[in-house]
Structures are given as structure tokens and as C-alpha cells.
Structure 1
């Protein structure tokens, strides 16, 4: 008995410590804000508190059903919670910015440390890489402490380690400061740090994927619960006589809040590992094809929407003809049809993404062979590529051949490698090629650079395969949720229509039972339109979630959006048709 009570006390104590640690982190985040705490309290916290009191008063005093008043109260809670936790969210955003590309920065630092530049110049060079975001800012702060305040590099690293919100970065800077103060060369330390860095990155990446699995199950449970709430909001007014439109609209707002919350959480938890190399200086063939398809698809969708608008208004001969077709077409299909062209840019982007993945698979072998050949032959990159271009590197062979042609035409190495990375459209190829090129120009050993880059990229490719499996699972779950939720929504609406028809046929208003069924509180066409809007919003957020987890091109979201809309609308139409057939039988 004592052991059980001790275990319970330990569990309660652990939870208490976690809560206390969370509140401490919130208070600490206020001190890190660029805005003074007093000013933030007056401009943000006070208005949020007033809004909460107004929403609380409205939830208590408004003569609306409970299902309507709950979202009003929750909106006030959401505003206050957002205002209170916003500084904590800012610190969390900064922490993610520091940790998202830490593995790339350490690899880049290792490459630079093996060249002929001094160790402060390594940090100075990394500070110029704007793609590293918060990490580049942190590198500039370290060099500023060295240049402006005349501190040693190890003291500057140790000082920044105490102030950064990221524990992995703080630990790395602490170890680096200790090694430098002990007299160890920075290249020896970083080369020894590579294995530890890769293992930590693998642990963090797999942990993020595991968290996404948990969130997927939680999301499934919450959406099923909200689907049940929507069904209740559809069916209950026929028994209670409350305003059905207002009740359903309020539950839809609550449904939207839940999905927005999960979208933000999934966006926060998804590992930062983009697939595409995005740059505006040079428009590749893939970029042009996707842009043309996107503009054409949007224009075609706009034309279809205008045609449907003419049909709705019944303007002109075309409008009258379209109106005749629209009267016989279910509302969900009328909503899904104009959106279908948006799938075209998604299909094109998906095709190019498959080729990018194939290039990523071939690149480690290419860069390892390039580095080893340059070291063995003691020759230039151009001379080595003359031989390597004849080897089979799959879909990467074309880019390798064009790289050789540009270098052979005396185009500068930096510019030639830029076109190579731009045409490959791969984010990893761009980053690692830039590291290799800079390392070679600054006197680094090609074989060492090639092996280092190849090993790190192979590890990332393995993690991407796990991410791809998690994405496929998430897609299946979201598609299934969309179909089942749409079926549940419209089967509830069909039940209401059946009861309303039963009330009319039996003429229950003249009987004592008339007060049991309130068919007059429903505006069936408008409620059907609201349910179709739920399908649209669910498809929008679900497609954005898939894109966040997938890490691919933004056009992928268009493809999943169209598919999800059609799944939801087709399920709604089939449900209505099946219910109508059962009634007729």
C-alpha cells in the first residue's frame, strides 16, 4: 500500500514539476521579448482580457442555445490564451529556427574548418549565409563579440551558450568553447563532433515523426468527436425547436477552431526538411511548367465559377442553359467541379518531385566519386568531370554533363555550381554542393569533403524515407476521415428530411404529437450549403497538413485539396442518393 501511494505521489510530483517548469518558461519568455513587458500588458493583454469578459457575458446573457454560446465563450478563452502565451510562442519559434538547420550548419562549419581560413572567419562566413536564418544571426552575434568587444572566440561561444533558447545549440557551443580553450584545433573538434551531431539529428527527427503519429491519432479522435457534435446539431433542433441554422453554424465555428489548432500543432511538430531548392534568380524548366499550370488552372477555375454564377442568376441564354443543368445537379458537385483544374499544377509538381528524390539518391555517390578522383589525380574539377560525365548517375547525369560544359566554357565555378543546383531543384544538393565548392576554393581536401558530405546526406535520405511512410499514413487517415465525416453529416441531414416529410405526410400539426417534431426550423438548402463549406474547409486544412508533413512543393497542396473535396462531395452525393433510394423502397 505504501509503495502504491509513493508511486502516486511521485507521479503527481512529476506533473507538478512539469507545470511549474512550463510557467517558468512562460515568465522567462516575457523577459526575452523585444517589447517592454508594461507596454505589452497595456496594448495586448488588457484588450484581450476585456474581450474575454465580453465573450463571457455574451455566453451567459445571450438568448441562444447552449451549442451557440459555447463557441462564443471559447473564442474569448482562445484570445486570452493567445495573448498570454504569445511571448512563449515567439521563443519557441526562435528555438525551432535555431534547431531546424543545426545539422547543416555544423556540417558547413566542419567543411570550412578544414580549409585555410582562421577559425573566426569560419563564423564570419556562416553569418553571411542568410538561409540559416536564426543560426546566421547567432553566428554574427558571436563574431560581433569577438570583433567589437575584443573577446576570445571560446569566451564568445560560452557567453552565447548561456543565452540561446535552444539546448542542442547551447550544448554544442559549450563543448566548442571548452575544446578551444583547451587548445584543440577547431577542425579536429568538429570532425569528431560529426557522428554525435548526426545521431542527435536522427534522434530529433525520429522523435518528431513519433510525435506526428501521436497527433494523428489524437486528431482522428477529435474530428470524430466534432463530427458527432455536428450530427447532434443537425438532428436535435427537430426535437427541441431551436434555430437549426444558428446551432449548426455555431458548431461549425467550433469545428473550425479545432482544426486550426491541430494545423498549428502539426506545423510546429513537423521536422524542417524541405525538398525543393527555391530561388528567384533563375527560373528552371520545372518552375516554369508549374507556374504556367497554376495560372492556367486558376483562370479555368475562375471561368467555371463565372459560368455557375451566370447559371445561378439566370442571365442570358448561357445562364438559362446552365441553370437548367444546375437544377438537376447536387450542390456538392457544383462546388467541387470548378475546383478540379487546380489538381493540374499539383500533378506536375509531384512528377518533378519524384525526379528530385531520384537525384538526391544519386548525389552522394557522385560527390564521393568527385572528391576521391580529385584527390587521387590532383587535378581540377573540370578534368575529373570529363571522366565522370560518362558514368551512369541516373537522372542526375544530365545536370553533371551540363556542369562540365559550363566549367569547360570557363564559366566561374561558383556560377556553374549555382546552375547545377538550380536545375537539380534539390535543397540538399544545393546546400551540400555549395559547401563542397567553397571548401575546394578555400583549400580543403576534396576526398575528405566528399566523404563527409556523402555520409551526412545518406543519413538524411534514410530519414526522409521514414518521413515518406509517415506522410502516406497521414494521407490515408485524412482521406478516410473526410469520407466518413461527410457521410455522417449528410446522413444526419437525410434523417431530418425524412422526419420532416413524415411530419408533413401524417399532418402531425393537427395532433397532440405535433409538438414532438419541429420541421419548420430547418432551411434545408442553406444547411446543405453549410455542410459543403465544412467539406471545403476540412479539405483546405487537411491538404496544408499533408504539405507540412511531406515537405514538398506548395502545389502539392492543390492536388490533395481537389482530391479531398471530391472525396467529401462524392460521399455526400452517394449518401443522399442511397437515403433517397431507401425511402422510395
Structure 2
């Protein structure tokens, strides 16, 4: 009986997944027949070709196995791409949902009617896919003469996001029952924040699970690569092809985990980049970037020309007393100048985070004081600018000066957000400014914004802890993997030399046991250096993705991880040689 129940449950699950997949095909912009003809059928043909090649080619098994994996990846991507596309749309709807609802709440407290609230948000491209959904609701009301609650109920059945669908459904019900938009949104604020926190924390928990999976997979791939390096010395198979195939698989696995981390990380950008209003911080970061990349380019040319013998000037000539360098240094020294923009950015990013911490107190004080004194922002800022708001104090003082010089308030506030360079400060400042212009209560606006931003900052602390543990994991795995790689390489190198010594001194034919002649040790070492540099790059990208910071922040971790890998590689080879020499 239990077997029948399990079978029925399995069939029901498969049926639901199949229906969900077909629904995603129907919601594509491309017609289903066209997608099947031009994408799905060619991917099936490519998969069949890769399977046939893996059976026909006479390469070793470790080289042939990845070939059909490539075809299966293409087929899997083609079959599930519509589902992935729908999931991405769902994430876009969920990512900025709490900000959109906060903005809607602020607008609802002003003197405009409820349809104008929806029109205002529909015209704001900041919310991306959410703006498109609100635009569809406005179109149903204005063009097709539907009531707002009917339009909301209709769109709730179409959107892929359960959170947004539930919000539309409840909003349609309450408005149909006669409750005002303002009352409903003020009542729902706490629940919306809790829902957002639940989704955010769920994403962080998924990242924790992915870290454990990543640790297991990297350990497995490290073992496979060491096995691929050492095994040919006993079997006589071509080691270069074997090692190259495992390296490609290793890179493929790491790339997959990076993409998974990027898809699972909560959307919570730190930086704000207005192109029309550059700041001194942005100029400093840009200059440091050009300096770092320029020096890296010069050192890279010296490294390549020196190691290939195309130029007498190489990296060793730049270091007094050094005639030769270990191979890993030829890879890591050229990228070292990238540390310059990384450190500059890291310092600037700390100031942005410090401004975020002070902004809730500032906006609450501004709103409360404006309501009590019944005065303008300029008059209130004349007092607030003398209070200590940390790194934000300088920006508040500049805002007061611009408003006092009779600069248009909108422009003054936009210069303020541009100087702060914070995404949250820019978003919530725009909400406050728009709410004040439309006659909203400044005290209520300040309290709403402060409460929402404090909740986001609390979640960011949890994200910071998750990032810290990820950094520790990646740095530890980088050192451990490099140690294992180069132990395998040095063991093969020692066995090769041992075989030569035995052949020449004792006249023993060790070629029946050890086959060192199949190895090109410098080439194997070069491939290992390539994989540790690529691993350092992907690990740095993972840190930046989970952290949510500036892209240039990747450079600092990339340089540090590269140096750790290179030093561990050199130390490992020295250690093995020392022990064997002592032995």
C-alpha cells in the first residue's frame, strides 16, 4: 500500500513539474514552435554527436567522458532555459518588492489618489520588472476600463512571483471591501518586512548549503587532478591530455558553483553609480584602476617576453640579485598591481557602509524636526549639520549649503545621494523627497524609511557573516588544493629522476614499472599554474557576488588568493625536495 502511495506521489510530482515546464514555454516571448525548431532540436543533435564522438575516438577514458557531458549540458540548457527565464523574472519581481511597497506606502500617505500612486511607480524604471507589472495594471484600468481591484486580481493570476501574487490578491480584496490604500499598506508594513527578511535569510541559508557542496566537490576534483597527474607514471598513458581533461572538468565545476552562488545571492546592491553626477570617490577609484591595470599590462608583457625568450628584459631583471624565478611567480607578479584599486575601493566601500549606518538616524531626525517645527528641510539642516553623523556629516553639510544657495531641492538631494554613492541612501532619499513634494507627513515618512532601512541593515550584518565564512573557506581550500596539486607534481618529478638514476647506476630497467618518459614536467606545471590562477579568479568573483559590493573589490581577493597559491606551490616543491634530500 505504501509503495502505491509513493508511486502516486512521484507521478503527481512529475506531472506538476512537467506542467510547470510547459507553462514556462507558453510564457516565452518566442513562439513555442519556433523555439523547438531552432533551439531544442539542434541541441538534441549536438548531444547525439558528442555521444558518438566519445564512443568513436580512441582517447583515454578520462578524456572521452567530458565530451558527452558538454552535449548533455547543451541539451539540459535548451530544455530548461524557458524555466530558468521564468525563474529569473520571478527573482526580479522579488528582489525589489519590499522597496516598491515602501515607496507605494509613502506615496499613499500623500494627497494623491490611489491610481496616481500606481501611475507614478509604473513610470519609475528603477523597479524593473515590477514597474512593467504596475504598468500593465494601469493599462487595464485606463485602456480597458477595468476597476483597480479587478486589474489587480487578474494580474495576480499571471505573475510568476508568489509574493507579488499574494500582495495583489490581498490588496484587491481589501480595496474591494472599501479599505483605503493608505490604511492597508500601513497595516501590512510589518508583514512585508518580515516576508522580505524571510526570503533574504532563506537565500543566505541556501548559500551555506552551497558552500558545503562546493567544499565536497572541490575536494573530489582535487583528488581527481592529483590522480591524473600521478597515475600515468605507472600506466604510461599520455598525462598531458589526461590532466587537461580533468582541469577542464575542474574549471567547469567551479564555474557552475559560481553561477549558482550568483543566482542564490540576495539582490542588495551597495553602490549607486549615477553617470551624470561623478564624485571625487569615483574619480579616485577610476584613477587607481587605470594605474593598476596599466602596471599589470607592463609586467605581463615582461613576463611573457622574458619566459619565452623574446626579450632579454624579463621579470628577474627587475629584482636585484635574482637570476631565475619559479614559474608561479611569472603568473602572480604581473597581477599584483591590481591590489592598488582593490585597496582603494575597499577603503571607499567602508565609508559607504558607515554612511548607510548613520542614514536612518538622520532621516528620522530630519522628518521629526520638520514636523515639529513646521519648517523646510533647509532650516532643519542648519541645526542637524552640527550633529555628529559620522562619515555622513560632511554630506549633510554639503546638502545644507546647496539648499541654502537656493539650488533646486531635487538637484540638491541628487547631488547628496551622488556624493554618498549608496544605493539605499539614494533610493530612500528619493522616496522622502517625493513624499514631501506631494504633501506627505515628514514625521511619518522619516519613521517609515528609518524602520525599513534598519531592517535591511540588520540583514546585511547576516550577509556579512556569511561572506566572512565564505572567505575563510575559499582561502583555506585554495591553499589545500594547491598543496595537493604540487605534491603530486613533485612526486612524479622525483620518480622520474629516480628512474633515470636507477637506469644509469644499477643497470635496472625500471621502464617496466615506472614510465617517466611520458611526462613533460614543465608543461604539467604550467597547466597547474593556469588552474590555480583561474581558481583564484572564480573564488574572488564568488566573494564579490555574495558580498554584493563593487566589482573592483574582486581584484584584492584575486591578488591575495593568487599569492597564497603561488607561495604554497613553491613551498610544497621545496619541502618535498628537502625531505627527499635528507632521506
2:527 counterpart of 1:544: no
Contact 2:536 2:562 survives alignment (8 Å): yes
**Using the alignment, how far apart are the partners of 1:323 and 1:524 within structure 2?**
27
Corresponding residue SS for 1:193: helix
**Using the alignment, how far apart are the partners of 1:33 and 1:281 within structure 2?**
35
**Using the alignment, how far apart are the partners of 2:10 and 2:170 within structure 1?**
32
2:558 counterpart of 1:561: yes
Contact 2:502 2:510 survives alignment (8 Å): no
Query: How many pairs were matched up?
Result: 580
2:23 counterpart of 1:28: yes
Give the CA deviation at 1:448: 0.4
Match of 1:331 in 2: 327
Residue of structure 1 aligned with 2:251, choices 241, 249, 256: 256
Match of 1:300 in 2: 295
Normalising to structure 2: TM-score of the pair? 0.96
Deviation per CA, 1:430-469, whole angstroms, max 9, x where unpaired? 1001000000000000000000000111111111001000
Give the CA deviation at 1:22: 2.9
Match of 1:124 in 2: 119
Give the CA deviation at 1:33: 0.7
2:76 counterpart of 1:81: yes
Match of 2:193 in 1: 198
Deviation per CA, 1:17-67, whole angstroms, max 9, x where unpaired? 544433332221101111111111111111111111111011111101111
Residue of structure 2 aligned with 1:451, choices 447, 450, 453: 447
Corresponding residue SS for 2:313: helix
Match of 2:568 in 1: 571
Residue of structure 1 aligned with 2:471, choices 472, 475, 480: 475
Match of 1:516 in 2: 513
Which segment is superposed worse, 186-195 or 20-29?
A: 20-29
Which segment is superposed worse, 472-481 or 24-33?
A: 24-33
Q: Check 1:257–1:405 CA distance in 2 against 1; reply closer, same or farther (3 A cut).
A: same
1:166-315 residue pairs with structure 2 within 5 A? 166-315=161-310
Give the CA deviation at 1:317: 4.9
Match of 2:93 in 1: 98
Long gaps (5+) in structure 1 = none
Give the CA deviation at 1:472: 0.3
Long gaps (5+) in structure 2 = none
**Using the alignment, how far apart are the partners of 1:478 and 1:521 within structure 2?**
34
Contact 2:269 2:423 survives alignment (8 Å): yes
Normalising to structure 1: TM-score of the pair? 0.96
Residue of structure 2 aligned with 1:396, choices 387, 392, 395: 392
**Using the alignment, how far apart are the partners of 2:287 and 2:473 within structure 1?**
32
Match of 2:403 in 1: 407
**Using the alignment, how far apart are the partners of 2:269 and 2:7 within structure 1?**
41
Contact 1:305 1:338 survives alignment (8 Å): yes
Which segment is superposed worse, 127-136 or 439-448?
A: 127-136
2:132 counterpart of 1:137: yes
Corresponding residue SS for 2:439: coil
Match of 1:367 in 2: 363
Contact 1:382 1:408 survives alignment (8 Å): yes
Q: Check 1:510–1:79 CA distance in 2 against 1; reply closer, same or farther (3 A cut).
A: farther
**Using the alignment, how far apart are the partners of 1:214 and 1:10 within structure 2?**
30
Q: Check 1:189–1:522 CA distance in 2 against 1; reply closer, same or farther (3 A cut).
A: same
